[in-house]
Amino acid sequence: MADISSNFLGIKSPNPFWLASAPPTDKKINVLRAFEAGWGGVVWKTLGSQVKNVSSRYSAVDYGGHKVMGFNNIELISDRPLEINLREIEECIKLFPDRAMIVSLMADNDKKSWHELIKKVEDTGAHGFELNFGCPHGMTERGMGAAVGQDPEIAKMVVEWVMEVATIPVITKLTPNVHSVVPTGRACVEAGTNALSLINTIQSVTGIDLDTLVPNPFVAGKSVFGGYCGPAVKPIALKMLTTIAQDPVTSKVPISGIGGVSTWKDAVEFLLLGASNVQVCTAVMKHGFRIVEDMCEGLNNWMDEKGYATLNDFIGKSVEKITHWEDLDINYHIIANINQDKCIHCGLCYIACEDTSHQSINLEYGKPYNTYSIKEDECVGCNLCKLVCPVDNCISMVEKRKGDEYLNWKDYQRLGLPLNDH
């Protein structure tokens, strides 16, 4: 059995699965249920400035009959009294001393407010802080949340205020609503944050009701940009995580990965790209806390199969595999091959290639079943046919190198090699 326990900045948890700062972590009853279900830790829903939430807070994007491929919310930080939150945090820590308790913070934009908040929260016995520099709705209009994370100077200033008084580890959560997460990430690391977490939600409009013409979520005839999350944002989160993991400054601190993590496989991908643990929200909002069981078991089985004893054995292993385009090997060439025994004659590969790619698939008419085969000379190996094929392993990409040696674009130009002629 692999050891899936996690140590993040000295904060220990039985597994690397934390619940992100969000509605599932906003009070004792939820958090205790989460711990009972087996979650390794929670980031308590953001405390700080006084707010009041609206009714009708969530909306979703469904795709191809699947509910909640993407999800957005316009809920602000906790609107419960600070004292109740603090008391409940303390109680949860006592009941589950082996779990990580991080508290998310977003104070008004002055040093005094931050200092007071930090002291009060530290008294609960919490193990760490997460600074919410990412909330993309509502709070930004008051100069908080993403408004801080979008400006490296302001972010740096706030982190410095925090580090003046904090005696427990500080994680700074980054907003994806920027052209690059690296500048703010660097500023925060330079200001002393102990770790980074990313991504927060992405500003979005999930859709419009075609009867009322009001976008979602509907609040008394109006709507507002909401924070997008769920499976749909995972690829964006992985890209941003990679830029943080590859940067010489930001890669010095541990990273907590967030953004569409729904399964153990998603978690492994975040860890491979440099995250030390992951935070989950949308998946539990759809399915409940019980999903952590398979996350732990799946991770464990995968690690056993691959021979990884601890998480550290594979964290970051894929970071160096993402390179620059100009370093890719142009001599690497693949050609599609259709396994005729598996083909169900749906024609999806054909029409995709014919209409939108390189007209590399031959159609031989049959009634009712056509036969499809690859025109090897035309195929550029783009993968499209394989991607749209509904049958597993029916289309495979066969390696047929153009040359034995590694040849990148820079060499290609330098050697004056020929470009395509059609």
- Count of residues of this chain found to bind other proteins when the rule CB under 8 A is applied: 16
Token pair belonging to 377: 């000379």
Based on DSSP, count helices (H) and strands (E) in the chain, helices before strands.
13, 18
**Cα(204)–Cα(216) distance, rounded to whole angstroms?**
10
**Cα(135)–Cα(23) distance, rounded to whole angstroms?**
13
Q: What is the DSSP letter of 331?
A: T
Q: How far is the CB of 357 from other proteins (least distance, A)?
A: 14
Q: How far is the CB of 355 from other proteins (least distance, A)?
A: 9
Q: How far is the CB of 332 from other proteins (least distance, A)?
A: 30
Binding part of the chain for other proteins, among 30-38, 256-264, 321-329, 360-368 by CB under 8 A, reads 360-368
Q: What residue type is 70 in one-letter code? A: G
Q: How many CA atoms lie within 13 A of 275 on its CB side?
A: 26
Question: Per-residue contact track with other proteins, 197 to 226, x per CB under 8 A?
Answer: ------------------------------
Residue 65 lies near other proteins (rule: CB under 8 A): yes
Choose which of 205, 347, 396, 412 interacts with other proteins (CB under 8 A): 347
Q: What residue type is 55 in one-letter code? A: S
Q: What residue type is 115 in one-letter code? A: H
Q: How far is the CB of 349 from other proteins (least distance, A)?
A: 9
Q: Identify residues 363-382 at the interface with other proteins (CB under 8 A).
A: 363, 367-370
Give yes or no for a contact between 226 and 74, defined as CB atoms under 8 angstroms apart. yes
Choose which of 1, 52, 55, 64 interacts with other proteins (CB under 8 A): 64
Residue 97 lies near other proteins (rule: CB under 8 A): no
Choose which of 104, 350, 374, 385 interacts with other proteins (CB under 8 A): 350
**Cα(107)–Cα(46) distance, rounded to whole angstroms?**
9
User: Three-state secondary structure along 273-317?
Assistant: CCCCEEEECHHHHHHCHHHHHHHHHHHHHHHHHHCCCEHHHCCCC
Going by C-alpha positions, the residue among 69, 67, 73 that lies closest to residue 23 is 73
The terminus-to-terminus CA distance of the chain in angstroms comes to 56
Choose which of 346, 380, 382, 397 interacts with other proteins (CB under 8 A): 346
Residue 249 lies near other proteins (rule: CB under 8 A): no
Residue 215 CB partners (closer than 8 Å, separation 6+): 205, 206, 207, 208, 209, 223
Question: Per-residue contact track with other proteins, 19 to 58, x per CB under 8 A?
Answer: ----------------------------------------
Q: How far is the CB of 366 from other proteins (least distance, A)?
A: 9
Binding part of the chain for other proteins, among 219-227, 320-328, 345-353, 373-381 by CB under 8 A, reads 345-353
Residue 344 lies near other proteins (rule: CB under 8 A): yes
Q: How many CB atoms lie within 10 A of CB 183?
A: 17
Q: Which backbone phi and psi does 189 adopt, to 5 degrees?
A: -65, -40
Choose which of 391, 401, 402, 413 interacts with other proteins (CB under 8 A): 391
Q: How many CB atoms lie within 10 A of CB 406?
A: 12
Question: Per-residue contact track with other proteins, 250 to 289, x per CB under 8 A?
Answer: ----------------------------------------
Q: How far is the CB of 356 from other proteins (least distance, A)?
A: 12
Confirm whether 385 is a catalytic residue: no
Q: What angle do CA 243, 248, 254 make, to 5 degrees?
A: 70
- Nearest residue (CB) to other proteins, 265 versus 345: 345
Token pair belonging to 302: 């995968």
Catalytic residue among 92, 135, 353, 394: 135
**Cα(347)–Cα(156) distance, rounded to whole angstroms?**
55
Choose which of 165, 205, 348, 382 interacts with other proteins (CB under 8 A): 348
Q: How far is the CB of 344 from other proteins (least distance, A)?
A: 4
Residues with catalytic annotation? 135
Q: Please report, as ranges, the residues that interact with other proteins according to CB under 8 A.
A: 64-65, 344-348, 350-351, 363, 367-370, 390-391
